[in-house]
Structure 1
């Protein structure tokens, strides 16, 4: 009897991770982050004009730094009941990860005392079924495949909060954090790292979209980024090479600015891109400059969202940063060779 229960559970978990619908090229994904539920979000109608098949929350779905779960739930409900947002999600598949302000603690990680309760409220917001594997695991990491023509796009959502160990404060400069020398520091934790390896190693998808709430390539600014844990940066880059995961791009948020960064990694047969889209209801309007040796598209400091258009025939990905009234602010096209 237990054997059949296990098979049933496996069937439920697996089928929940693959869309039953088949899509045509170009496959369009929209994403964004930093959405304060008490401020008006004027972007939903503009996002809809791009006809995305998937909307990805990149974190900070709400702003609710708190240890009061009733307050956290109330803020999620306020966002969920927003009429424009509610209308938008009727026609799009919604995926999400969290960042610090919806997790519950500014720049928070493993030390947050209510992470288990916060996880359930996050999943409630997304209407995740009670029998979904995410209800039982620690952390909200998740993946889902979409069939496009005869290929697949795999979207992987990382949890950069639940397991992340302490950051190292910068006591020398005016930056907030500096790279740690602790080789045991972790961004994802051992279990999630193993899961990610399996997701990439066993994947036959033509394109892999990895959503990380914080930036991966841009690390010179001194705020939160993967660069605060150099060993974890190296680990992910090595994983992409050893698993031979095809055509992988990283999406990120958090910064209240939007930009596109690109790095050529020895041993990887395509350039790694980090597409940051951040600031849906509020943005870093006083931005002047900051270093980023990998930046290939100028910073956009006004409220914006990101759009990915994956063209299987042309074997390329068009990345667009768009603002109010769907205005195209910046774009970049990356060619891939499958």
Structure 2
């Protein structure tokens, strides 16, 4: 019988993350370079999860859960906890997160409020439930600060992968609404005081982008690159979106690749702002929660087909090549590729 007991040292989102002080360099927790990362978003805890089997068969060296890891949608913490508990009792989920280290951030549904931001009244309590579910150690910095943003570096010098998990919920300002479009009611708002990440998280992110790493995966629960079409995305706060692009360029952070979820379909988007740094966003969604409409919103920056059934992502890196090859693959419930893209690591830099 397979042992499905959860190993705390593998499951803790904070066990695997962050430096002990804001300006300290994060040490690597893995001697070998990461060559296979599996990721996904949007798990309806009450529905079957056959997608976990091909994810396990992919032999991940790291798992990333990028948001909506349950559908909590409540300000009642016992209810939220019960929904986490239901996912934890899923044998396939337990086996999957027993297989390798796990990192996670949240989106609105596991945060507790659909499209919720800083105005969600139970955000502090919800953070406690999140940290408990992911078995975060009591001594972790996440227990002492607001928000679940965190980072981790894997691999030896010259072959380092940095994973940066953003919190796009805890500090996010209220969104502006207008006439409802296909994706929803939200419209771009250039009010300079509005924020996506909050001042402290922005300062922290600047420090992380200056850490030595060859490949940097920035996990944003909502889409970063996609154009506004009514849905939640960074384009709703265009000044914050620009701040991210400017920060990547000013820190001269190489190897940046964005991973997002939320949309209940998968696609790849890309934009190259002035300065020549291509921002590529791999949206991977969902693991078992299908979109009722089945058609995507408009996206001026889409560079791939879209896929609308259950899916997960695989990021593979060939570190033996002099210019490492990064392969992106979105797989279906049978493990077959549905969206693919290959990038040389040298392409993820100022051109």
TM-score in terms of structure 2 length: 0.88
Where structure 1 has 5 or more consecutive residues not aligned to the other structure, the ranges are: 1-10
What is the RMSD computed on CA atoms of the aligned residues? 1.9
- SS of alignment partner, residue 270 of structure 2: strand
Q: 1:261 to 1:184 in 2, by over 3 A?
A: same
Equivalent residue number for residue 279 of structure 1:
286
Return the alpha-carbon distance in structure 1 between the equivalents of residues 19 and 244 of structure 2: 29
Q: Measured at CA, do residues 70 and 131 of structure 1 come closer, stay the same or move farther in structure 2, by a change above 3 Å?
A: same
Structure having the larger proportion of residues in helix: 1
Residue 236 in 1 paired to residue 244 in 2? yes
Shift of 1:24: 4.1
2:10 corresponds in structure 1 to none
Distance 1:17 1:114, change over 3 A: farther
SS of corresponding position for 2:85 = helix
| Residues in 2 aligned to 1:24 and 1:105: alpha-carbon distance in whole angstroms | 37
CA contact (8 A) 2:180 2:186 kept: no
Q: Which residue of 2 aligns with 1:179?
A: 188
Q: Which moved more, 1:43-52 or 1:187-196?
A: 43-52
Q: Which residue of 2 aligns with 1:198?
A: 207
Paired position in structure 2 for 1:108? 116
Query: Is 1:317 matched up with 2:333?
Result: no
Distance in 2, matches of 1:141 and 1:115, equals: 14
Work out whether residues 100 and 108 of structure 1, in 8 Å CA contact, stay in contact via their aligned partners in 2: yes
TM-score, normalising length: structure 1: 0.91
Return 5+ residue gaps in structure 2 as ranges.
1-17
- Rounded Cα–Cα distance in structure 1 between residues aligned with 2:312 and 2:140: 29
Residue of structure 1 aligned with 2:343, choices 316, 330, 334? 334
Does the C-alpha gap of structure 1 residues 172 and 162 become closer, same or farther in structure 2, counting only changes over 3 Å? closer
Instruction: Tell me, yes or no, if the aligned pair for 1:22 and 1:149 is still in contact at 8 Å.
Output: no
Per-residue deviation, 1:17 = 5.3
CA distance in 2, matches of 1:197, 1:16: 12
Q: CA deviation at 1:13?
A: 2.6
Deviating beyond 6 angstroms after TM superposition, the runs of 4 or more aligned structure 1 residues are none
Could you tell me which residue of structure 2 aligns to residue 8 of structure 1? none
Q: How many residues align?
A: 325
For residues 203-260 of structure 1, the C-alpha deviation after alignment (integer angstroms, 9 at most, x for no partner) is: 1100100000000011232100000000001000000000001110110000001000
SS of alignment partner, residue 298 of structure 1? coil
Verify the 8 A CA contact 1:23 1:149 in the aligned structure 2.
no
1:300 paired to 2:307: yes
Q: 1 or 2, which has the higher strand percentage?
A: 1
